[in-house]
Chain A
Amino acid sequence: MKVSMLYKTLPLFFAIIFLVPALLVVSHHHQTSLFSHPQLQQIKVLFIGIFLEALPFVLLGVLLSSLLQIFIKDAWIRRFSPKHPVIGVLFGSMLGFVLPICECGMIPVVRRLMLKGMPVYIAVTFILSGPILNPVVLSATTVAFDAYPEVIWSRMGLALAVAAAIGFIIYVRSPKNPLKLSLDKVQMQSDALPFHQHTKTWSSFFVHAGNELIDMSKYLVLGAFITACIQSFIPREQLLALGDGSLSSYLFMMGFAFVLSLCSTSDAFVASAFTHAFSIGPLLSFLVMGPMLDFKGLLMLLATFRIKFVIGLCLLVIVLVLIGSVAIDFLY
């Protein structure tokens, strides 16, 4: 079945291989052609920019995940993962300080940790808190909000609270097989082929990294592309006009964070440009929502987890971030 499909596909790749140089030649001869349209160039700059910005972090995550795959034994992860839920959740949320990777590099690492037996609730707590509760983001936020220490600490605190709350909810509900590629399947396959052992060599390290990189980058590309389109088609003024009312300003900032898909190390600077327009609550919802859930990250989550699980997770994040930031706004 697979083989016949490959036969069908191959001619198409040949077509693409010839099409690219042909198009290249054409586009060089006609500078005013379709490809040099200003709108398209804008999308290109944004798209390639976001892609290149995330690439080093994705690569780092993928290499780290391959290292985990080869050098860390499953039993170690099982032994080191705390048994008590409270300690487990705290462990998950503080893991970011040990493994300071941002949201793009997070998902391959977490998937590997889960396949090696890390409990789901700890892994999800780590996914949510890791991109905020880490030294790099802490220092970036400190620089951007120097004059507003309350923003820095509320951001960290709210991220911890939301991640911990979701961790506990997952612990209580204990969903079965949230991963697309579940533990059982891997187990089953290795049972069926008892002698099928992957040799742990340098080449299997790179093969593993390469496959995972392809898996992740297709979602990264899609996310970066859509983000670029949104940014170059919808004027910011129109977006700002949406955020007039009190509740709508929260929803606006959260939607804005979702759409922009900024790296968590730079979003604080963008948020600081809104200090004159919004109070602490909506700013916080932007700062906490963005790293936990954005367009690019959502697609990468979908690469790893089942759709039902991702939808539930998104709803929880949205509701809890909203409640949390409204509460903090009320306090100040």
Chain B
Amino acid sequence: MTLTASIRCHYLLRALLLASLSFYLIHLNETDLLHYYLAPHMQKLLLLCPVPLLFISFGLVWHCITGSSEQICDCEHPLPESFFKNISVYGLVAVPLLFGLLVPSQALGSDMITKKGMVYSVPAPEIRRKSDAMDAAGDSQITDSATQKNLSLDELFIARDKYTVEFAELAKRLYTQSVIEVDSSIFSETIGAIDMYRQAFQGKHITLQGFVYREGDMKDNAFALSRFLMMCCPADAVPFGVLIQDDNALTFTNDTWVEIDGVVRSATINGEEVLQIEATQITIIEQPVSPYIFTNPDSVAEFDKLQSNS
């Protein structure tokens, strides 16, 4: 066995690792498990990878079989020399594969919420608001208008600033529904719109899905219906929750997926008024294929599309 033969072995091993990585990606996609790891726009990017990876590993194998001994060298990429280095290099690259195959895939759940901390107001668009003064003005306006039931939609849902125009538009559409069905594709926007105009939406019927999460200091008749809102990958996922009130709340354990039929109310957490849903019926459901929710670039258009389909 010569030095080139040893290098040939290294190349073969590398080709094997890269090929298995690309098969792992294909497997993830085939079994619909990519939803657990990436947001849709990142999934598209990732799916560009398997083909170049296979080309690379094929190139390595080709080179290792047909390359003459002068061509095969390690001058630019020194190969690991010692036993320990061999293990650490190839072992490390194999770790994602081993993890992927051995540990069952499961979406983020209650455990992660306790680490990240639950958010009860819409994370993305809410925080873009300029100043608190504007908020106060907006709130009082809504309370006034909500008392006068026969106001037109345009007067009822006035955008506070240019960043909440989308929410106001969505709220106008949601308000005309007899039962508001919260679709996963525009979950955070729908809840955001209802939360922003929660006085106007009081008493409206609503249906939504999520998993159960209970914080330490919650009352016995309450839990939070949660979804993880993901920007790119689980590292930036934010747990997003809606407060649910139900007398049988204790019978549902953490991480159970449920569908809630209920009525929009409001409650106070830590001195702040938040949206609360008074449940009329809770049904246990299967975990959806895509457990996380994502921000939608144009929630109003998405809502119109959903309406025209149904």
- A235 close to B117 (CB less than 8 A): yes
- B101 close to A20 (CB less than 8 A): yes
- A20 close to B37 (CB less than 8 A): no
Contact with A along B12-37 (1 / 0, CB 8 A): 01110110000001000000001011
State the majority secondary structure of interface residues on B. helix
- B232 close to A56 (CB less than 8 A): no
Q: Is A262 an interface residue (CB 8 A)?
A: yes
State the majority secondary structure of interface residues on A. helix
- B103 close to A52 (CB less than 8 A): no
Closest residue of A by beta carbon distance from B18: A210
Given known A12-B87, A39-B111, A236-B115, contact A186–B37 (CB-CB < 8 A): no
Given known A210-B56, A210-B57, A214-B93, contact A24–B127 (CB-CB < 8 A): no
Inside 8 A of A48's CB, which chain B residues have their CB? 37, 96, 99-100
Contact with B along A197-225 (1 / 0, CB 8 A): 01100111111111111110110011001
Closest residue of B by beta carbon distance from A16: B94
Determine the distance from Cα of A50 to Cα of B230 in the docked complex, in whole angstroms. 12
Question: A215 is contacted by which of B73, B77, B88 (Cβ under 8 Å)?
Answer: B77
From A83-91, A126-134, A156-164, A263-271, give the one contacting chain B.
A263-271
Question: A42 is contacted by which of B62, B96, B111, B124 (Cβ under 8 Å)?
Answer: B111
Inside 8 A of A266's CB, which chain B residues have their CB? 231-233, 236
Given known A147-B128, A207-B59, A234-B115, contact A270–B103 (CB-CB < 8 A): no
Inside 8 A of A212's CB, which chain B residues have their CB? 77
Inside 8 A of A272's CB, which chain B residues have their CB? 124, 127-128
Q: List 30 A-B contacts (CB under 8 A).
A: A7-B1, A8-B83, A36-B104, A38-B109, A38-B111, A42-B108, A42-B112, A45-B234, A47-B96, A47-B99, A48-B100, A49-B36, A50-B235, A52-B37, A52-B46, A53-B233, A186-B75, A196-B73, A198-B71, A203-B67, A210-B60, A213-B18, A215-B77, A217-B92, A261-B235, A262-B232, A269-B124, A270-B231, A273-B119, A273-B238
Residue ranges of B at the interface with A (Cβ–Cβ < 8 Å): 1-3, 5-6, 9, 11, 13-15, 17-18, 25, 34, 36-38, 42, 45-46, 48-49, 52-53, 55-60, 62-63, 66-67, 70-71, 73, 75-79, 81-83, 86-90, 92-96, 98-109, 111-112, 114-117, 119, 123-124, 127-130, 161, 163, 231-236, 238
Residue ranges of A at the interface with B (Cβ–Cβ < 8 Å): 1-3, 5-10, 12-13, 16, 20, 23-24, 27, 31, 35-36, 38-42, 44-53, 55-56, 59, 63, 145-147, 181, 186, 189-190, 195-196, 198-199, 202-215, 217-218, 221-222, 225, 227-228, 231-237, 260-263, 265-267, 269-270, 272-273, 275-276
